[in-house]
Amino acid sequence: MWFTDSFQNTIDRFNPNTLKFEKAISVPTQNATPWGILLAPDHHIWFTERTGNKIGVVGKGNKVLEFPIAEPQSYPEKLAAGSDGLLWFVNSQVSNIGRIDPKTGNFKPVIQLSNTSIPEGLAAGPDGNIWFTVAAYNLPGQIGQVVIKK
Protein backbone atom coordinates (compact mmCIF):
# COMPACT_ATOMS: atom_id res chain seq x y z
CA MET A 1 0.00 0.00 0.00
CA TRP A 2 1.35 3.39 -0.98
CA PHE A 3 0.78 6.61 0.94
CA THR A 4 2.19 10.11 1.22
CA ASP A 5 3.98 11.48 4.26
CA SER A 6 3.66 15.24 3.89
CA PHE A 7 5.76 16.08 6.93
CA GLN A 8 8.69 13.90 5.85
CA ASN A 9 8.26 14.88 2.16
CA THR A 10 8.19 11.22 1.09
CA ILE A 11 6.18 8.61 -0.73
CA ASP A 12 5.98 5.54 1.50
CA ARG A 13 4.89 1.91 1.32
CA PHE A 14 3.42 -0.47 3.83
CA ASN A 15 3.53 -4.19 3.09
CA PRO A 16 0.32 -5.78 4.42
CA ASN A 17 1.85 -9.27 4.10
CA THR A 18 4.82 -8.56 6.38
CA LEU A 19 3.12 -5.74 8.33
CA LYS A 20 6.25 -3.65 7.80
CA PHE A 21 6.99 -0.27 6.34
CA GLU A 22 9.38 -0.26 3.39
CA LYS A 23 12.01 2.30 2.47
CA ALA A 24 10.55 5.74 1.83
CA ILE A 25 11.08 7.55 -1.47
CA SER A 26 12.10 11.20 -1.08
CA VAL A 27 10.37 13.85 -3.16
CA PRO A 28 13.08 15.97 -4.87
CA THR A 29 11.37 19.34 -4.28
CA GLN A 30 12.04 20.41 -0.71
CA ASN A 31 8.89 20.91 1.41
CA ALA A 32 6.65 19.89 -1.52
CA THR A 33 3.95 18.50 0.80
CA PRO A 34 3.00 15.36 -1.15
CA TRP A 35 -0.71 14.83 -0.70
CA GLY A 36 -3.12 13.11 -3.10
CA ILE A 37 -1.91 9.72 -4.31
CA LEU A 38 -3.18 7.36 -6.99
CA LEU A 39 -2.23 4.02 -8.50
CA ALA A 40 -3.01 5.04 -12.06
CA PRO A 41 -4.06 2.83 -14.97
CA ASP A 42 -0.43 3.00 -16.22
CA HIS A 43 0.47 1.06 -13.01
CA HIS A 44 2.57 3.95 -11.68
CA ILE A 45 2.09 5.84 -8.45
CA TRP A 46 1.13 9.47 -9.12
CA PHE A 47 0.81 12.16 -6.46
CA THR A 48 0.21 15.86 -5.97
CA GLU A 49 2.64 18.29 -4.39
CA ARG A 50 0.49 20.84 -2.60
CA THR A 51 3.17 23.43 -1.91
CA GLY A 52 5.58 22.19 -4.59
CA ASN A 53 3.08 23.19 -7.29
CA LYS A 54 3.76 19.95 -9.17
CA ILE A 55 2.38 16.55 -10.06
CA GLY A 56 4.83 13.71 -9.43
CA VAL A 57 5.16 10.07 -10.42
CA VAL A 58 7.26 7.26 -8.99
CA GLY A 59 9.10 5.92 -12.03
CA LYS A 60 11.57 3.13 -12.71
CA GLY A 61 13.98 2.39 -9.90
CA ASN A 62 11.74 4.36 -7.52
CA LYS A 63 12.94 7.64 -9.03
CA VAL A 64 10.50 10.51 -8.69
CA LEU A 65 9.74 12.57 -11.79
CA GLU A 66 8.05 15.91 -11.25
CA PHE A 67 5.94 17.98 -13.62
CA PRO A 68 5.56 21.71 -12.74
CA ILE A 69 2.08 23.20 -12.99
CA ALA A 70 1.99 26.42 -15.04
CA GLU A 71 -0.26 28.34 -12.63
CA PRO A 72 1.79 29.66 -9.70
CA GLN A 73 0.64 28.54 -6.25
CA SER A 74 -2.12 26.27 -7.58
CA TYR A 75 -2.08 23.93 -4.53
CA PRO A 76 -3.03 20.62 -6.22
CA GLU A 77 -4.75 18.20 -3.89
CA LYS A 78 -6.63 15.10 -5.10
CA LEU A 79 -6.06 12.93 -8.19
CA ALA A 80 -8.40 10.70 -10.19
CA ALA A 81 -7.99 8.70 -13.40
CA GLY A 82 -10.42 9.68 -16.13
CA SER A 83 -11.96 7.39 -18.72
CA ASP A 84 -10.19 9.60 -21.30
CA GLY A 85 -6.75 8.33 -20.20
CA LEU A 86 -5.86 11.58 -18.43
CA LEU A 87 -5.23 12.13 -14.74
CA TRP A 88 -7.42 14.85 -13.25
CA PHE A 89 -6.60 16.96 -10.19
CA VAL A 90 -8.11 19.84 -8.24
CA ASN A 91 -6.27 23.13 -7.74
CA SER A 92 -7.93 24.58 -4.68
CA GLN A 93 -6.10 27.93 -4.53
CA VAL A 94 -6.75 28.90 -8.15
CA SER A 95 -10.27 27.43 -8.39
CA ASN A 96 -9.77 25.05 -11.28
CA ILE A 97 -9.52 21.42 -12.25
CA GLY A 98 -6.41 20.40 -14.13
CA ARG A 99 -5.43 17.47 -16.32
CA ILE A 100 -2.15 15.78 -17.09
CA ASP A 101 -1.42 13.15 -19.71
CA PRO A 102 0.42 10.33 -17.89
CA LYS A 103 1.99 9.18 -21.17
CA THR A 104 3.71 12.49 -21.91
CA GLY A 105 3.63 14.51 -18.68
CA ASN A 106 1.98 17.33 -20.63
CA PHE A 107 -0.78 19.33 -19.01
CA LYS A 108 -4.07 19.94 -20.78
CA PRO A 109 -6.21 23.08 -20.55
CA VAL A 110 -7.84 23.53 -17.15
CA ILE A 111 -11.51 23.83 -16.33
CA GLN A 112 -11.91 27.15 -14.55
CA LEU A 113 -14.51 27.46 -11.78
CA SER A 114 -15.87 30.61 -10.17
CA ASN A 115 -13.15 32.41 -8.19
CA THR A 116 -15.18 31.90 -5.00
CA SER A 117 -15.25 28.13 -5.53
CA ILE A 118 -12.76 25.86 -3.80
CA PRO A 119 -12.61 22.43 -5.45
CA GLU A 120 -11.68 19.80 -2.89
CA GLY A 121 -12.73 16.17 -3.37
CA LEU A 122 -12.36 14.37 -6.68
CA ALA A 123 -13.35 10.92 -7.92
CA ALA A 124 -13.89 8.96 -11.11
CA GLY A 125 -17.54 7.97 -11.30
CA PRO A 126 -19.02 4.71 -12.57
CA ASP A 127 -20.39 6.69 -15.53
CA GLY A 128 -16.82 7.41 -16.75
CA ASN A 129 -17.01 11.08 -15.74
CA ILE A 130 -15.07 13.00 -13.10
CA TRP A 131 -17.00 14.18 -10.04
CA PHE A 132 -15.79 16.79 -7.58
CA THR A 133 -16.89 18.62 -4.48
CA VAL A 134 -16.84 22.38 -4.18
CA ALA A 135 -16.73 24.49 -1.08
CA ALA A 136 -17.63 28.14 -1.56
CA TYR A 137 -17.30 31.13 0.70
CA ASN A 138 -20.85 32.30 0.13
CA LEU A 139 -22.75 29.12 -0.91
CA PRO A 140 -23.46 25.74 0.66
CA GLY A 141 -21.28 22.82 -0.47
CA GLN A 142 -21.86 21.59 -4.01
CA ILE A 143 -21.00 18.67 -6.27
CA GLY A 144 -19.83 19.17 -9.82
CA GLN A 145 -19.31 16.86 -12.76
CA VAL A 146 -16.90 16.94 -15.69
CA VAL A 147 -18.51 15.05 -18.56
CA ILE A 148 -15.88 13.20 -20.56
CA LYS A 149 -16.90 12.87 -24.21
CA LYS A 150 -16.09 9.61 -25.86
45 within some domain = yes
80 within some domain = yes
As for how many domains the chain has, the answer is 1
**What mean pLDDT is reported for the chain?**
92
Residue 86 belongs to what domain range?
Answer: 2-114
Q: What is the pTM of this model?
A: 0.91
pLDDT above 70 covers a percentage of the chain that reads 97
9 within some domain = yes
Q: Is the pLDDT of residue 147 over 90?
A: no
Domain of residue 59, CATH code? 2.130.10.10
21 within some domain = yes
- For 20-30, what is the mean pLDDT? 95
Q: What is the 3-state secondary structure (H, E, C) of the chain?
A: CEEEECCCCEEEEEECCCCEEEEEEECCCCCCCEEEEEECCCCCEEEEECCCCEEEEECHHHCEEEEECCCCCCCEEEEEECCCCCEEEEECCCCEEEEECCCCCCEEEEEECCCCEEEEEEEECCCCCEEEEEEECCCCCEEEEECCCC
